[in-house]
């Protein structure tokens, strides 16, 4: 088991890590959240939790589906219970406000903002939100922890920003929150763009069925957000309105960037964009796994991480 003394000097900040792990990985072909990529069988989540603990987070909450609960408990939760407080909540289609029911044709989850909302009763401190299948690196966690440690309930948030060109997959399209940032590194807008890919010498996305070019040096969100519990009320306020407009669209999703963009436009929140020197990578597609394993092995070889995280 990991030597807890490694973490003790930073275990008292009262910060929570919220891991979005409810996606079933349909494009990837398996439960990619628990697919090993490290030399001792570690998953990407293992590295995120390890970096979070080193940065001062003292609780981790997972958002999962009921259908993967047993695998999740047996594969991941046992690893963490001796080094950090662990909890988990469910995101299911039927978890809707009063007055709404799930249309028969609906199969997709309701999106990342809905996933965060599911954790309202489990998260009582400032918290970071990450995807389960993205590797962010220690620098992103440490800078977010420093931003959050003096926050209470105010609507002062953060987002780790990455260059679009460094977040593309060689094996298919991706969706990204494309950002506009002012001279003081504050987020002015964030727009969810879908089907982004590099074709020959240019990067393109699809809007209303039309292919358009985009500057690959734009900053994008990879869903590494820093929030206070004030965001739960803000998400909840917008969810009913979203459902009224979109409940019969089986592919509609309530995205975090959509919520944040609206809050910024209404001057109800500020978002500091945190640049990170850490190298992001993810496993959107099964073919991405080989690259992820190679990156992890390189970091272990350079002694950024131990050969085994938890032993």
Q: Is residue 203 part of a domain?
A: no
Q: Is residue 213 part of a domain?
A: no
For residue 29, the model assigns a pLDDT of 43
For residue 28, the model assigns a pLDDT of 38
For residue 208, the model assigns a pLDDT of 84
How many structural domains comprise the chain? 1
Closest CA to 49 of 311, 228, 264, 309: 309
Q: Is residue 215 part of a domain?
A: no
Q: Is residue 260 part of a domain?
A: yes
Q: Residue 43 belongs to what domain range?
A: 4-163+221-301
Cα–Cα distance, 75 to 73 (Å, whole number): 6
pTM of the model: 0.89
- CB-based contact 297:182 (threshold 8 Å): no
- Residue 173, classed as helix, strand or coil, is coil
Q: Is residue 43 part of a domain?
A: yes
Half-sphere CA count of 238, side-chain side, radius 13 A: 23
Residue carrying the six token digits 């070019």: 213
Cβ-based burial of 57 (10 A; exposed 0-12, middle 13-18, buried ≥19): buried
Q: Is residue 210 part of a domain?
A: no
Mean pLDDT by 10 residues, the chain (311 residues): 47 82 55 78 93 96 89 82 91 92 90 95 96 92 93 87 88 89 94 88 89 92 94 94 93 91 94 84 80 92 94 78
Element (H, E) at 230: helix 230-246
Q: Is residue 60 part of a domain?
A: yes
Q: Is residue 8 part of a domain?
A: yes
CATH number at residue 89: 3.90.550.10
């Amino acid at each position: 088991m990991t030597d807890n003394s490694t973490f003790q000097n930073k275990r008292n900040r009262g910060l929570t890590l919220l891991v979005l792990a409810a996606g079933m990985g349909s494009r990837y072909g398996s439960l990619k959240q628990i697919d090993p990529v490290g030399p001792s069988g570690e998953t990407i989540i293992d590295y995120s939790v390890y970096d979070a603990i080193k940065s001062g987070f003292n609780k981790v909450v997972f958002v999962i589906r009921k259908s993967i609960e047993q695998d999740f408990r047996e594969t991941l939760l046992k690893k963490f219970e001796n080094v950090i407080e662990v909890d988990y909540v469910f995101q299911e289609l039927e978890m809707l406000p009063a007055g709404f029911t799930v249309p028969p044709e609906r199969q997709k989850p309701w999106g990342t903002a809905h996933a965060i909302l599911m954790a309202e009763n489990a998260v009582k401190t400032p918290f970071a939100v990450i995807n389960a299948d993205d590797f962010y690196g220690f620098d992103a966690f440490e800078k977010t922890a420093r931003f959050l440690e003096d926050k209470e309930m105010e609507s002062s948030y953060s987002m780790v920003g990455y260059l679009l060109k460094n977040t593309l997959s060689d094996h298919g399209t991706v969706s990204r929150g494309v950002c506009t940032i002012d001279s003081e590194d504050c987020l002015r807008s964030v727009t969810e763009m879908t089907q982004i890919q590099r074709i020959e010498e240019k990067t393109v996305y699809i809007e209303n069925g039309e292919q358009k070019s985009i500057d690959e040096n734009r900053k994008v969100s990879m869903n590494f957000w820093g929030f206070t519990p004030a965001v739960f009320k803000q998400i909840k306020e917008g969810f009913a309105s979203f459902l009224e407009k979109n409940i019969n669209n089986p592919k509609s999703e309530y995205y975090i960037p959509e919520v944040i963009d609206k809050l910024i436009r209404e001057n109800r929140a500020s978002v500091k964009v945190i640049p990170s020197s850490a190298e992001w990578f993810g496993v959107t597609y099964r073919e991405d796994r080989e690259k992820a394993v190679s990156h992890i092995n390189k970091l272990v070889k350079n002694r950024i991480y131990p050969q085994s995280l938890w032993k």
